[in-house]
Amino acid sequence: MDVRQIRLTIAYDGTDFAGWQIQPGLPTIQESVESALEKMLGRRPQVMGSGRTDAGVHAIGQVATFLTSATYEPAIFRNALNAFLPDTIRVRHADEVSQAFHPTLDARSKRYRYRVDNGPVADPMKFRYAHHVPRPLDESEMRAAASWLIGRHDFAAFQTVGSERISTVRRIFACDVIRVDDEVHIEVEADGFLYNMVRSIAGTLILVGSGKWATRRVADVLKSCDRKIAGPTAPAKGLTKLRVNFESPRFEPGWMKYK
């Protein structure tokens, strides 16, 4: 029978998982999806994700693929997998793609959002998905500081220990700071990310927003390539992978707003 490649768009609450990638003895998203496929198909295909997310990180637009000879329509895969997956993981969309498609190598950019609960008292409804900072943040100052990060730079100062990347050079297409009522959202779109890069950027911009750092200091940190002088790594729970783009990003302001 002909082999097909099915692409999944997956959303998950990462709170109770040790990240995307399979780890022996630990609950992971990849393990859960492969297990659900095994229940559906009677065999266990390997699922390949478009990059990894760490323990506690969420997603609404993770992309993954697998090979199968099953003839089901893509919507059947979506519905059946959702019947077998835990409530904290959902396949939002499924389609068939060419076997030449690669979810990592063909990705042109990825977008993440870091959520800050900026109310004076932490909102318990946001506890799993946002980092609480009670001190009022100046989003305009954060936005000004974020502008230094746009473009192609060496982001070594925003990489924590544990990365296997050879090069620390990446291109950020957009780094937006948006206030939504009592929340501040930091959204970063790039051609790739270093280990904990978005969380390190978030921790640094929070220092600017709280008045502890001047905006120009972010440029100095970037130029230094020294992790020790950047801000702290913000907690994992505030980070969500929004989507993966498989077309070349454009540069018009605001075009990447998630809908």
Supply the residues annotated as catalytic. Answer: 54
Query: What are the structural domains of the chain?
Result: 4-97 (3.30.70.580), 109-245 (3.30.70.660)
Strands 109-117 and 239-245: antiparallel
Selected residue with higher pLDDT from 122 and 1: 122
pLDDT digits (tens, 9 = 90+) for 217-241: 999 999 999 999 999 999 999 999 9
Identify which of 149, 110, 59 has the alpha carbon closest to the alpha carbon of residue 249.
Answer: 110
pLDDT digits (tens, 9 = 90+) for 115-170: 999 999 999 999 999 999 999 999 999 999 999 999 999 999 999 876 666 899 99
Residue located via tokens 């050879």? 166
In this structure, which amino acid lies at residue 77?
Answer: F
Res 247: pLDDT? 74
The two tokens of residue 34 are 């492969």
Given a cut of 60, whether residue 252 has pLDDT beyond it is no
Angle, CA of 143, 231 and 253, to the nearest 5°: 20
Query: pTM for the complete prediction?
Result: 0.92
